[in-house]
Structure 1
């Protein structure tokens, strides 16, 4: 079964809003590019899909926009060509190498996990909360930024039950950011 990894940037106080003072830098973009390249497919909710598409889809001209630093291009190219699954009850169609996921969320994601491959990656805020509540996330990966936002949506706010995690990896960046990866501990049968 393919593992499902939830990956996201967060501030020290748990804010997950992309405008909460979490500027991408070359080191973090290299990290996220490598992580994304390891996934067979990305799983997004509608809001994250639309936000990522507006920022990272290759323009029709084929040229990346002037605002994009040269070190961000590998990330843009990786996400642009990645297979995507979009969970949405409001979109009627998607493109950008994506397909809609409809119906029962738990069943649909279990089917995706049962397909052959190395793994799936989910990002965003609302969809990962639902997947965590269903016990479908196999790994949590947080790039913790040395920023206190003081406001904004927080990581997994509203989780129904506590999930005990065990640390499986940690990496420090020059910026002071730290990547931590955890797996849920499974109750002994």
Structure 2
């Protein structure tokens, strides 16, 4: 069975908004590129899918935009070619190597987990909350940045029941960010 890992950048006070200053630096971008390369597929809700597509989809010109630093290109290429599943009740179609998932999210994700292939990575805010409430997330990976945002969307706000976690891996970065991976305690 495939592992479903929730991976996200977050501030010390739980904010998971890139506008709050949690965008990765070169070292962290390399880390995320490695994580992306190991994934069998990405799982997004509509909002995260549209945000990631607008930032990381390769332009039709075949050239990455001028705003992108050279060290961001490997991540951009990895996410651009990755297989994606998009959970949405409002989108009619998706492309960008994507398949639309509609209807019962719990059943659809359970089926995805049973398919052969590498791990599934989920990002975003709303979809991971739903998946956590259904006990579908096998690992939680938080890259905690040494920033206090004081505002913005919070990590897993509104979780139905407490989930006890056990740390299984930890990595520190030069920026002071710390990546910690957890598994639910059964």
The equivalent residue for 1:105 is 105
Task: Check if 1:91 corresponds to 2:102.
Answer: no
Question: Does residue 1:30 correspond to 2:30, yes or no?
Answer: yes
Match of 1:180 in 2: 180
CA displacement at 1:114 relative to structure 2: 0.1
TM value normalised by structure 1: 0.98
Is the 8 Å Cα contact of residues 138 and 184 (structure 2) preserved in structure 1?
Answer: yes
Aligned-partner Cα distance in 2 for 1:12–1:102 = 34
Indicate conservation of the 8 Å contact 2:8/2:123, yes or no: yes
Aligned-partner Cα distance in 2 for 1:18–1:88? 22
Matches within 5 A, 1:32-51: 32-51=32-51
Please give the alpha-carbon distance, in whole angstroms, between the structure 1 residues aligned to 2:175 and 2:60. 34
Aligned partners of 1:114 and 1:168: how far apart in 2?
A: 23
Render the CA deviation track for 1:112-139: whole Å, top value 9, x for unaligned: 0000122100000000000000000000
- The aligned runs of 1:1-189 (5 Å cut-off) are 1-186=1-186
Deviation >2 Å, runs of 4+:
none
Offset from partner CA, 1:58-85 (integer Å, 9 cap, x none): 0000000000000000000000000000
Deviation, 1:152, is 0.7
User: Matched residues in 1 for 2:151 and 2:3: separation?
Assistant: 32
Unmatched runs of 5 consecutive residues or more in structure 2: none
Unaligned 5+ segments in structure 1 are none
Distance of 2:92 and 2:41 partners within structure 1: 20
TM-score, normalization by structure 2 = 0.99
CA distance in 1 between counterparts of 2:84 and 2:118 reads 15
- What per-residue deviation string (whole Å, max 9, x for no partner) do you get for residues 116-173 of structure 1? 1221000000000000000000000000000000011110000000000000000000
Cα RMSD after superposing both structures: 0.5
Aligned length: 186
